[in-house]
Structure 1
Amino acid sequence: MRTIRTPVLAWLAVLALLLAGCASGPTVRVDTDPEADFSRYRSWAFYEPIAMEAHGYSSYTTERVRAAIRREMDARGYAYDPASPGLRVNFQGIVEEKTDVYTVPRTDFQYYYSYRARSYVAVPVWYDEAQVSRYRQGTLTVDLVDAGLNRLVWTGSAVGRVTRKTPEERATEIDAAVAAIFAQYPYQATGRTP
């Protein structure tokens, strides 16, 4: 019996972790205004009114997103200053019902009686079977707006399936989505990229 060497096992473990990380997290997309000068931003505040509070009231979800954004902005050295911020942060969350339709190759056998062979003959038949999958997809978008120009300078969105049911599980998903978005934000309050 041949044994597998340790470096091969290490590479297999790393590959398994990478695949698990890709499958479990949301898809993050970001966009930056190429003319924006991020070195001049030192402070921030929330945009008023927040897009997610368009109906005039807040919820547990909006408060959780606010807390997660505050942690991420603080970690990057930005000072919270509602009186004269350099950046205003806005966010929006949407949950949609989605449908995926895909085909799966199938095979079956049709049986015919052959009078010449005096027996039944199986004939393979190949076809595609349509499958329908319904799920809920959530999108969380975070926008950073230049407060003086009222111009969008950076936006990030996280898109993923909504599967958690309890408030604790939803809170964990919210924190993970905000962290994934800000992991793509390369600036700090000092103007340097980390």
Structure 2
Amino acid sequence: MKTYIAIASALLVSIILDSCSVGKVLDTSSAPDFSISDYQSFDFYKTDLDITEMPEYGKRVDWIKEAIKSKLSTMGIEQDTDNPDLLVNIGIVLEEKVQTRETDLRSDPLMYVGQRNYHWEVQEVPVGTYKEGTFTVDLVDKETDKMVWQGISQGVITENDEKAKKYIVEGVNNLMSEIEEK
């Protein structure tokens, strides 16, 4: 019975994590006079970041850049590495999280404490770990060197490359569609 509950819990956790992987938009903000139609070109900030320590995430950063490039292109803004109007900065934070469940009286045995003193308490029981990623997209006006738009999105990181690429594209599209609504 305990094995069945453990398998069912693990399956439920994986279904929940897979369904949440696309990510959610946490926040967007823009300068008061910002209009995406004022820009015709963009490029990514050049960094000295060495991602060789985590090569599995290097390709995912490239997928984020491709998705941003594609989304900006649909808005009529093309990449220009020589003299862009807009600079794009990407920030990424990865965190290891612990998935827990709360014990309840129906499924968890009573805990014996002392003589003739049966006692039961609600506890948080770890059932698995996962990685959660938060990425920030900053759009900076190159001429004024001021940030004109920022979007923050968060989602669960999947190990499956095919799903990861799909989720990245969908997440970037969700996040950057907020630009069009401004």
Bucket of the pairwise TM-score, normalised by the shorter protein: 0.5 to 0.7
Mapped pair 1:45 → 2:31: no
Partner amino acid, structure 2, of 1:45: D
Gaps of 5+ in 2: 1-18, 112-117
Contact 2:103 2:124 in 1 (8 A): yes
CA deviations 1:43-93 (Å, max 9, x no partner) are: 2111222xxx61277932222112111110001111322222221111122
Which of 143, 158, 165 is the equivalent residue of 2:159?
165
CA distance in 1 between partners of 2:31 and 2:65 (Å): 27
Which of 28, 31, 47 is the equivalent residue of 1:31?
28
Contact 2:41 2:78 in 1 (8 A): yes
TM-fit CA distance, 1:140: 1.9
Q: Percent identity, aligned pairs only?
A: 23
Gaps of 5+ in 1: 1-21, 111-123, 188-192
- State the Cα RMSD in Å: 3.1
1:135 matched to which residue of 2?
A: 130
CA distance in 1 between partners of 2:165 and 2:34 (Å): 33
CA deviations 1:115-144 (Å, max 9, x no partner) are: xxxxxxxxx966313223532111122111
Structure 2 counterpart SS, 1:106: coil
Name the one with the larger helix percent: 2
CA deviations 1:132-191 (Å, max 9, x no partner) are: 3532111122111111122211111221112x223222222221221121122226xxxx
CA distance in 1 between partners of 2:65 and 2:110 (Å): 59
- Count of residues in correspondence between the two structures: 152
TM-score (norm 1): 0.64
Q: Which has the larger radius of gyration?
A: 1
TM-score (norm 2): 0.67
Structure with the greater relative contact order (CA < 8 A, sep ≥ 6): 1 or 2? Answer: 2
